């Protein structure tokens, strides 16, 4: 993997990230394909809106269909017909989200499957093995993600354990074309984030992520902490903010110097009749859209906006038709990826702050 910074505008960065399955223009948003699918969309649809890299998940894919099966069928790229880059999350977020069904020690995390209650042990070494079987281009180390309101003792222990697990992941990894990213934890405490980063940076990972945001804190608290936290990460390596978020969150993070993003929000919102546009969020079930012949967003060239009216989308959701969630998910991904392309262009042209202000003014309403 190679990463080259092409331009900066303040702390915002435009770069090129080269992987075994292609080169990615950053900043970039990664659609979430947790179970080897971006929900409701074909890979061709996802490529068609400009996605350059997608995300899969270690925990879910080892439960079903199984990482060894995927390996035997040619790896995750072949299995899901996605020839472009893939990043796999290690399962660390499940350490957080399945709190009622897991036990954590320095050795690893033991889960009760959310599918059948069966026991699954996820150690750093196992997380590496699964991701090597999947054959992703970028593999995340296993970390412990504490909640935003964790006590200082819990937070410090999570940082200590995340550092320990990162070193074990680094030692165990052998895949010749897959790279690992480390994850910096520490919540909203920049000093704790600095301690974690200072321990991880000497391990010389090819990339670094900020985990443990959007886990219960207020958005403005995250926004306030991001610039200092991003500055802790090496400037010559890609920086990834995990699991965030809304369009305004993405631009605030780009302004802080972040390069990579993922979040289920655009597709989850699309499945729930909520669309993102330049003029704010659109709740397509609202009665005002029943007779509206206009597209979801004027000027958007996605299939949804080019071919269908708000009235038709309103009908699809009211009738319970599967096409409604598909079209809104497609539009929302197109919108997020357009946002990143335009942000990149603004960085290269030295007008990112102006671009960010214009976007934020437009997002003030909900229809």
Q: How much is the pLDDT for 92?
A: 82
Percent of the chain residues topping a pLDDT of 90: 91
55-74 confidence digits (pLDDT tens):
999 999 999 999 999 999 99
What is the distance between the alpha carbons of residues 330 and 296, in angstroms, rounded to a whole number? 12
- Provide the number of structural domains found in the chain: 2
89 in active site:
yes
27 preceded by cis ω (within 30°)? yes
Between β-strands 138-140 and 86-89, what pairing exists: parallel, antiparallel or unpaired?
A: parallel
Q: Which domain holds residue 150?
A: 2-263
Same domain, yes or no: 194 and 164: yes
Does one domain contain both 34 and 135? yes
Residue 367 falls inside a structural domain = no
The verdict on 89 and 7 lying in the same domain is yes
Amino acid 331: pLDDT: 98
Residues 151 and 223 both lie in one domain = yes
Look over the chain and give the mean of its residue pLDDT values, rounded to a whole number: 96
**For residue 116, is it within any domain?**
yes
Which one of the listed residues 9, 143, 259, 262 is annotated catalytic?
262
Asked whether the predicted pLDDT for residue 189 surpasses 90, the reply is yes
**One domain for residues 227 and 281:** no
**Does residue 157 sit in the same domain as residue 303?**
no
If asked whether residues 353 and 213 sit together in one domain, one would say: no
Which of residues 240, 263, 286 is at a domain's end? 263
Whether the pLDDT of residue 98 is over 80: the answer is: no
Which pLDDT value is given to residue 364? Answer: 86
**CATH classification of the domain holding 54:** 3.20.20.105
**Does residue 276 share a domain with residue 240?**
no
pLDDT attached to residue 361: 95
Q: What would the pLDDT profile of 168-178 be if each residue is shown by its tens digit? A: 999 999 999 99
Q: Quote the crossing angle between the two packed helices 190-200 and 152-172, to the nearest 10°.
A: 20
Phi, psi angles (nearest 5°) of residue 340: -70, -40
What local confidence, expressed as pLDDT, does residue 91 receive?
A: 86
pLDDT band for position 93 (50/70/90)?
Answer: confident
Mean pLDDT calculated for residue range 327-340 = 98
Name the band, by pLDDT with cuts 50, 70 and 90, for residue 85.
very high
pLDDT band at 201 (very low <50, low <70, confident <90, very high): very high
- Taking the whole predicted model, whether its pTM rises above 0.75 is answered as yes
Query: Catalytic one among 89, 129, 143, 249?
Result: 89
């Amino acid at each position: 993997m190679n990463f080259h910074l092409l331009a900066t505008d303040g702390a915002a960065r435009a770069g090129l990230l080269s992987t075994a399955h292609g080169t990615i223009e950053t900043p970039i948003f990664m659609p979430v394909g947790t179970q080897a699918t971006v929900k409701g969309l074909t890979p061709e649809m996802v490529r068609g809106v400009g996605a350059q890299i997608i995300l899969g998940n270690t925990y879910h894919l080892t439960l079903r269909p199984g990482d060894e099966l995927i390996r035997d069928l040619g790896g995750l790229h072949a299995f899901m017909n996605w020839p472009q880059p893939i990043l796999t999350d290690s399962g660390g977020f499940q350490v957080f989200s399945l709190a009622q069904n897991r036990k954590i020690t320095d050795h690893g995390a033991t889960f009760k499957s959310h599918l059948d209650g069966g026991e699954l042990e996820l150690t750093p070494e196992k997380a590496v093995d699964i991701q090597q079987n999947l054959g992703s281009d970028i593999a995340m180390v296993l970390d412990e993600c504490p909640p935003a309101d964790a006590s200082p003792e819990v937070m410090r222990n999570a940082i200590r354990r995340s550092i320990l697990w990162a070193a074990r992941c680094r030692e165990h990894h052998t895949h010749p074309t897959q790279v690992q990213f480390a994850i910096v934890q520490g919540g909203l405490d920049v000093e704790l984030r600095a301690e974690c980063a200072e321990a991880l940076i000497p391990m010389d990972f090819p990339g670094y992520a900020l985990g443990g945001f959007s886990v219960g804190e207020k958005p403005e608290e995250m926004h306030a902490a991001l610039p200092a936290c991003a500055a802790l990460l090496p400037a010559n390596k890609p920086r990834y903010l995990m699991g965030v978020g809304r369009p305004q969150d993405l631009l605030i993070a780009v302004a802080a110097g972040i390069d990579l993003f993922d979040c289920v929000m655009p597709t989850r919102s699309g499945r729930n009749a909520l669309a993102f546009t330049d003029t704010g969020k659109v709740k397509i079930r609202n009665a005002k859209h029943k007779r509206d012949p206009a597209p979801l967003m004027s000027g958007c060239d996605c299939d949804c906006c080019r071919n269908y009216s708000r009235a038709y989308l309103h009908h699809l959701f009211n009738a319970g038709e599967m096409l409604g969630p598909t079209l809104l998910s497609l539009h929302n991904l197109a919108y997020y990826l357009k946002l990143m392309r335009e942000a990149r262009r603004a960085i290269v042209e030295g007008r990112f702050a102006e671009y960010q202000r214009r976007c934020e003014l437009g997002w003030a309403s909900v229809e």
